Amino acid sequence: MTTEDSRYTVISSDGHAGADLLDYRPYLDREHHEEFDRWAAQLVNPFESEHLLSKAQDCNWDNTVRDADLATQGIVGEVLFPNTVPPFFPQTQFFVPPPPSDRREYEQRWVGLQAHNRWLADFCAQAPGRRAGVAQIMLNDIADAVAEVRRVKEVGLFGGILVPGIPPGSALPPLFDPVYDPIWAACEELDVPVNLHSGGGVPEYPHDPRGLAVLLSEITWFSNRVLTHLVFGGVFERFPGLKVAFTEQGSAWVPRELAKLDQFVRVMPLDGTAQHFFGGEMIRGLSLLPSEYFARNCFLGSSPLRPAECAIRHQIGVDRIMWGADYPHAEGTFPYTLEGLRLTFADVPEDEVRAMLAGNAARFYGFDLDALAVPAAACGPRVADVARPFGRDEVPADALGSVFIDHFGAEHPALAG
């Protein structure tokens, strides 16, 4: 029975971290140090993360700062995606198209990503069991990617791997191509989670007022589309145990997309239809509907989960939703996480809240809920507090995270009047 002091365990499915620029140097072999020094001296990142953060940049790499911040938010575990620029990349990697067939450019970037992965393993080791680090791979060399999947498993980065998106017109094959099967096979064999994060697969946009605005409006679509690639490419058919999370891409798109794909699949066998012309051959290789593959293989890193999305949680699948804080990004819930939880979950049954706040992430990534219950007993949000309805008059004017702005719109204190 719920008591007044009962608390939730909270795992954020979407956190971001990375080393301070020069701190990547020790994670590179000495033969790369001179080249690294030249790169670091001339780097100008057009997507400088300090403009997108809710606080100072040291929250990306300072263990003490990060732990203290998350404790104030009641968060006891998090999945860690990258945030700072890895060695030899021209800018934040979420917005960097894959390198062309130039082998030297690939090898240079690959060395940089491996340095990030090694740094991340050390950073996660400072909070054992509480940080699920997500390692980065590249798709230019399948053998290199598979070897990194295996190394990730060995060093305990239980957040799995971040698969980079492939933008239209890339020199690389699309993700539905069977050339990537060795990667999917290794992840299935080793139970390594596959992550697809918003920002992956975007084409190059001009860094000007128009390009940035269009990027904002289209950024999630290029990640959402991978669901179709994996379903129609037969990836989930060939690898039924593969686990894939779609993170920070919204959640409301899922029921709409699955309804569309299910309808395509139902009509594709009918000779004479447009759907048959385009998909009649493909459909022979599928044994399930797209919605059934999603329910078996896919999860959502719902970061943050908006009230309107929570309202359709049963259409999405309550057991598929993993709440995220998106710390330390400005659109996340910090420093008003309790307010954000109240806004989204006040009228939701406790068992469903527990699933979306921690249970689903524990199943997907392998967090130990018994171990996390200890810190949660000290700082987790109280069940009774989350159940208190949240009103517009309680919204701080500087609470500009998307969960607040999207819900209150023009009535938000910062926009009203």
Residue 3 lies in a domain: no
Residue 413 lies in a domain: no
pTM: 0.95
Name the more confident of 25 and 46: 25
Residue 398 lies in a domain: no
**d(Cα 197, Cα 6) in Å, to the nearest integer?**
33
**d(Cα 115, Cα 95) in Å, to the nearest integer?**
19
Angle at 403 between CA 402 and CA 408, to 5 degrees: 95
The pLDDT value recorded for residue 190 is: 98
- Half-sphere exposure of residue 194, counting CA atoms within 13 Å on the CB side? 27
Q: Which domain holds residue 125?
A: 11-387
Contacts for 124-127 with beta carbons within 8 Å, 24 or more apart?
Answer: 124/80, 124/156, 124/157, 125/156, 126/63, 127/63, 127/67
Residue 229 lies in a domain: yes
Q: How many domains does the chain contain in total?
A: 1
List, for residues 239-296, the tens digit of each pLDDT value: 999 999 999 999 999 999 999 999 999 999 999 999 999 999 999 999 999 999 999 9
List, for residues 42-77, the tens digit of each pLDDT value: 988 766 655 567 777 899 999 999 999 999 999 999
Residue 227 lies in a domain: yes
Mean of per-residue pLDDT scores for the chain:
94
In the block, tokens 């406790």 appear at: 350
The pLDDT value recorded for residue 1 is: 38
| pLDDT higher than threshold 90 for residue 350 | yes
Give the CATH number for residue 126.
3.20.20.140
% of the chain beyond a pLDDT of 70: 96
Residue 327 lies in a domain: yes
Residue 241 lies in a domain: yes
Residue 74 lies in a domain: yes
CA dihedral sign, ordered 365, 371, 375, 380? positive
